[in-house]
Chain A
Amino acid sequence: MVVFKVEKKADSGFSLIQILLLAVIPAILVGAVIFMAVGANPLRAYYIMFMGGFGDWFHFSEVLVKATPLIFTGLAVALAARMLLWNIGCEGQLVFGGIFASGTALFFQSYIPDPLMIPFVLLSGFAGGAVWALLPAILKARWEVNEIITTLMFNYIAVILMEHLYFGPWRDPMGRGFPGTAMFNESAWFPRFFQTRVHLGLFVAIAACMLLFVILKKTKWGYRITVTGNSLGAARYSGINITCQRIAVLIISGGLAGLAGTSEVCGIHLRLQQGLAVGYGYDGIIIAFLAGLNPLAVPFVAIILGGLIVGGDQLQTTLHLPSSISLVLEGTILLAILASNFFSLYRIRILRRSA
């Protein structure tokens, strides 16, 4: 008779090889089964996806465009999770960042000199996300209200509020019924590079990753965040004001997600319109955990996920498969990570015992 025993490991950890072995490869195998189920050759499908994302510079530039908001939201989730706060509300904060940035671009262009427009748009986008995270942050910090629920609920409110704006008061009068605001003045457009759609947002996102890395590793404040995340008891003992830390971290997290919305409206759409809330906020959760909450790993993971999305679109045009198949792959990867997380904490020992 074979007896299994689940034991807690002495040392818990997550190495890159483990993630690859336990999460990515099983996900690819499950994906292959799905491809076969819809009647496609999995090898050909994966080849098309890969070439669609990384085959040439043009396709890769589109991956970078997709990765830009994902870096921001991934970073937002990772920062909060380092303090054991679960910011599921990046989607709503992204939308609010978009709303604030659009408001600034649309209604303050006559007050702000052109060269200062982009800094102002960035600031207001950050502020928008931060504002949207503020109430859940206060509820959590003061009364221990579960932030998973509040931030999630706030997503729906934000989306409906945005729809109200572009269907109602902010709608472009010349737009012939198109749900969206008027196009921003050119001063609010993010500069684009290399004759592609790669825009300023990507560089701001990467700079944010590096800045956050430095803050977490090299500053006293970063040290306090780490301590609070590792042990509330020790944090309280050492005199850290946990209430303030939680509020600060959650609003910065919200602000980063707000920048994702800003870079979408000012870098790609150039107006506030339908199609801003397409799930980048939720993708951020996957990215943060795949990156092991390390800010420097976030851009790479975001590019991989961006490749998955862009490659998924190629499946649609080439193989006439539904592009949502990339969502299925995404979900499979997340589930595989959750499962592999179990193996990073526990080991299964096979005990043999004669009955």
Chain B
Amino acid sequence: MENSEKVRPDSILSLEGISKRFGPVWANRDISLNISQGEIHALLGENGAGKSTLMSILSGRYRPDQGGIRLKGKAVSFNSPAGALSIGIGMVYQRFMLVEPLSVAENIVLGCAGMLKSLDMGRINSEIESFSKEYGLYVDPGKKIHQLSMGERQKVEILKLLYRRAEILILDEPTAILSPPEIKPLFETLTRLAGAGRTIIFISHKLEEVMSLSDRISIMRRGKIIATLLPEQIRSKRELARLMVGREIVLKVDKEKVPVGKSVFAVKGLGSGGSDNHIPFDQIDLEVRTGEILAITGVAGNGQDTLVACLTGLLPFKKGSVTYKGRRFNSLEWIKTAKRGLVYIPEDRYGTASIPAQSLVENFMLTRVEEFGKGPFLDLKGARAETSGAIDHFGIKTPSGPSSKARQLSGGNLQKFILARELGRKPRLIIAEHPTQGLDVGATEEVWDSLLRQREHAAVILVSGDLKEVLSLADRIAVMFRGKILKVISTSDEEGVSQVGLLMAGVSERTDCGSI
């Protein structure tokens, strides 16, 4: 692979040997990159490749452990987003930083009102409008943020940066929250901005976007930039995807064969319908049997979150039906049944699966309160005994036993505690969502072991974007892209498994024919 990375004379921004470590993990390792003025530079990579960390360093949220940044040839350092912005580097985060009850104009001047002579909203409005017209970013300055669509909010975020005279604009997955018709105008805006001499860096998972928009593409994998390419150097999307995913050596865990039993859970034609806050999915058919782990995988933001919410009865679905233990349910019936029937291990350990401010005993009862005590009364002694037992059995490290508060536990120990609680319910169906996210190697292994052991009596649905995890645990892998399951692949099918990375990037055999 040719590398077009060479020091350009006109580079406006240079990263020199940037490294950043979180505990034992190198999120970024020795990254050097030169970006020239007026360039649209794409940063491509899997979840956890280190893209967001790198951009957070560039925008002042983190400080690098090693390395430096040069802006127009001069070494710069800053330790806050405001600091970065003051020298012209601004970022649009995936989660917008807007004050909802305030108007567009108020949000735009927020934080720089001190720099203005007076708060003349009329002048501010006309200034915003001139930016709007110039770059195709029209938003009514008088509207309140909560009245705006996601696409309009994004425009406000971009306007905010322009208003603060940002020269370099970083966008973190700008299209993730947009509906398809909103994407094209955004690209036009970005092209116009680049034409006017502003520099754009954008993070993406989506190959097509990257190919059509960017001047150069940097691909990150495991904390490093492994290639920086011009679009014409890339022969096919498949090649780009392979670079992005890499040929990972799959660490096989000791996975004994377990006889596959009856079908426990199936969904047919499931669809979420449209909603503003959730990425929709449609036409989902899945089935999982006792003794089997079915993985649902995909790049974040392709509808997995919404699908899980519907499978676990937290959200109603609009189309299709669910079959559980041989009985069919419509959406309303399933919402009632799901909470009692299945075990759900959510992604959000602190806000959903546990109550940080309460003791482990109280947390242990969260999903099992009916087991402790007859009638209306609680059997706190019984709950305490069970909690102690679970802490010992799962080897959970706590500061003061069952009385410890949930928030005092480390992520790995809390996850083990949640597993202890949920698996103790002897479930027939388990839905585990990103169960090892943020955990160290040791805790990850323990979580994997517990999930594998559940196959003896349960069917497991594993939702994860971590390919290593999926390939290590699953019997079958369903790849989700833009709200649909592209394909379900058995892990014993080696040819099929090699396609998983490509499928995650939206490349299926039918659409990929070597050219773009």
Binding site for B on A (CB under 8 A): 218-224, 226-227, 230-231, 233-234, 236-239
Contacts and interface: CB of A to CB of B under 8 A. Distances in A.
Question: Which 3 residue pairs are nearest across A and B when measured between Cβ atoms?
Answer: A239-B339, A233-B352, A233-B351
A220 B378 contact: yes
Given A219-B377, A220-B376, A223-B378, A234 B369 contact: no
Contacts of B354: 234
B353 A237 contact: yes
A221 B314 contact: no
A220 B370 contact: yes
A239 B340 contact: yes
Interface in B98-140: none
Given A231-B356, A236-B314, A237-B344, A219 B351 contact: no
B358 interface: yes
Interface stretch (B38-46, B360-368, B385-393, B423-431): B360-368
A221 B358 contact: no
A126 B367 CA distance: 33
B358 A237 contact: no
A142 to B, nearest CB: 16
B456 interface: no
Contact of A237 (B346, B356, B362, B380): B346
Interface string B308-344: 0000001000000000000000000000000110001
Contacts of A223: 362, 365, 369, 378
Nearest to A228: B355
Given A218-B378, A226-B358, A239-B340, A234 B373 contact: no
Contact of B366 (A218, A219, A221, A234): A234
B373 A238 contact: no
Interface in B30-62: none
A252 B355 CA distance: 25
B206 to A, nearest CB: 30
B97 interface: no
Contacts of A227: 355, 358, 362, 366
B362 A221 contact: no
A230 B314 contact: no
The secondary structure that dominates the A interface is helix
A277 to B, nearest CB: 34
Interface size on B, as a range, is 20 to 34
Contacts of A234: 351-355, 366
B348 interface: yes
Main secondary structure of the interface of B (DSSP, over half): loop
B7 interface: no
Given A220-B369, A223-B365, A237-B352, 11 more contacts: A218-B377, A219-B377, A219-B378, A222-B378, A223-B369, A226-B358, A226-B362, A231-B357, A233-B351, A234-B353, A237-B367
B422 to A, nearest CB: 11
A233 B309 CA distance: 13
Nearest to A12: B357
Contacts of A236: 314, 352
Nearest to B380: A218
24 contacts: A218-B380, A219-B376, A219-B378, A220-B376, A223-B362, A223-B369, A223-B378, A224-B369, A226-B358, A226-B362, A230-B355, A230-B357, A230-B358, A231-B351, A231-B355, A231-B356, A231-B357, A233-B351, A233-B352, A234-B366, A237-B366, A238-B339, A238-B366, A238-B367
A239 B339 CA distance: 6
Contacts of B362: 223, 226-227
Contacts of A233: 348, 351-352
Contacts of A222: 378
B353 to A, nearest CB: 6
Contacts of B358: 226-227, 230
Contacts of A221: 376
A219 B373 CA distance: 9
A226 B357 CA distance: 11
A342 B16 CA distance: 44
Nearest to B346: A237
B373 A220 contact: yes
A222 B362 CA distance: 12
Contacts of B370: 220
A239 B368 CA distance: 10
A226 to B, nearest CB: 7
Nearest to B351: A233
A212 to B, nearest CB: 14
A231 B354 CA distance: 8
Interface in B401-458: none
Contacts of B355: 227, 230-231, 234
Nearest to B356: A231
Contacts of A220: 369-370, 373, 376-378
Nearest to B312: A237
A319 B424 CA distance: 69
Nearest to B366: A238
